[in-house]
Chain A
Amino acid sequence: MNEPAQPKLRVATTSLAGCFGCHTSFLDIDERLLELLKHIEFDRSPLTDIKHCGPCDIGIIEGGVCNAENVHVLREFRANCKILIAIGACAINGGLPAQRNHLSLAEVLEEVYHAQHGLVDGFIPNDPELPLPLDKVHPLHEVVKIDYFIPGCPPSADAIWKVLTDLLDGREPELGHDLIHYD
């Protein structure tokens, strides 16, 4: 008799204040993605273009929190995902976007949209559809509880594979010296 098929784990991914480098590194697991797809199916993700996160087993979030929309998306993931993973330097400590934390938001907007050399008649965008930037950029764990972290800028495909396969096999994820790095 055939064994009943294991239900696939639902996985959602998103990039907040990130560069999609961690997602690119995730895709670098290459043909192992086919093996992974035997055990998981994607919910909201740039890979599916599903716009909202439904109930999921695992949520993977790249990037820190830099605007109001990031906060809403992060809370939606936390409300729907049993396990939430912060992936990459920006999600874990703010990373590159947080380098603006030493400047006032007004200064940043003024420089980028108005004063910078080469801009003609520049103005600070104020369309109501644009999410409002936060005063400071924050790592994810300052806003919601994060269960696991995969450091790196970006983490290697092997590190991502190790954490996901550990979780799929019911182990506590653990990265050895060859897989843990902050740069």
Chain B
Amino acid sequence: MINTFTLDGMSIPFSEGQTIIQAAMAAGVYIPHLCFNPQFKPHGSCKLCTVKVNGRQSSSCTHQALSGMVVESNTTQINDERRMLLQMLFVEGNHFCPSCEKSGNCQLQATAYELHMMSPHFDQFFPDRAVDASHPEYLLDFNRCILCSLCVRASRDVDSKNVFALSGRGIKSRLIVNAKSGLLADTDFCGDDKAANVCPVGVILKKRIGFAVPIGQRSFDEQPISASPHPVMKEV
């Protein structure tokens, strides 16, 4: 017998140990997410993938699929809350899309398009955050960090380097670089690292290749992020 649960009325098969979002992706159903990446253990922090499981809200990236559960995802109420999370992410950082190399390939931007975010709604924080251009090949623009921790997980679990960490709490949380100077140049970070290629937004950028792909041909110009359950970024 195949285990199944229902997601917005559809029957979704799953295997033992799979989370709701893993089973949904395998079935080709998109659930909005930012800090989740199928190659890594879930972090459960961005809350974009929140769904209702038997009437109670839960992160679909950490909630195990169970037979017979009733899951709601694409509803007005949940999408309204997801949009508000996005608006808070946009005003907390400095997300100036017209000048960002990641524009058109950015999961934050594409998810905001998907959820029809027409304005940031809240007052802008305009936080002061420094850029780290110390590394010869890579640039860190902390203005765009959404604290998804994917670079932290990639550097720790795949590269075994621990180059990145999240520091501070609440609104003072920030991404830091594990060097006495705090600078990327003083770490063993390199372009072959998984951490160099995992950022869903425009923080970790390879230098001297920006804007190589013209507008109209970037990842999310042609099709919305929902068209592929987990987006595969174009090589830039």
Contacts and interface: CB of A to CB of B under 8 A. Distances in A.
B103 interface: yes
Given A102-B128, A149-B118, A95 B113 contact: no
A164 interface: no
Interface stretch (B90-98, B165-173, B184-192): B90-98
Nearest to B126: A101
Nearest to A136: B126
A95 B119 contact: no
Interface residues of A, number: 29
A182 B126 contact: no
A174 B119 CA distance: 13
A115 interface: no
A102 B126 contact: yes
Nearest to A92: B119
B179 interface: no
A99 B104 CA distance: 21
- Chain B: interface size category: 20 to 34
Q: Which label, helix, strand, loop or mixed, suits the secondary structure of the B interface?
A: loop
A96 B98 contact: yes
Interface centre among A98, A150, A182 (most CB of B within 10 A): A182
Given A95-B96, A96-B98, A142-B123, A148 B118 contact: yes
A183 B124 contact: no
B116 interface: yes
Contact of A89 (B98, B116, B128, B223): B98
Given A86-B119, A98-B126, A142-B124, A153 B98 contact: yes
A20 B42 CA distance: 45
Interface of B: 90, 95-100, 103-104, 109, 112-114, 116, 118-121, 123-124, 126, 128, 215, 223-224
Given A86-B119, A183-B98, 14 more contacts: A98-B124, A99-B96, A99-B99, A141-B121, A149-B119, A150-B118, A174-B116, A175-B118, A177-B113, A180-B116, A182-B112, A183-B97, A183-B104, A183-B215
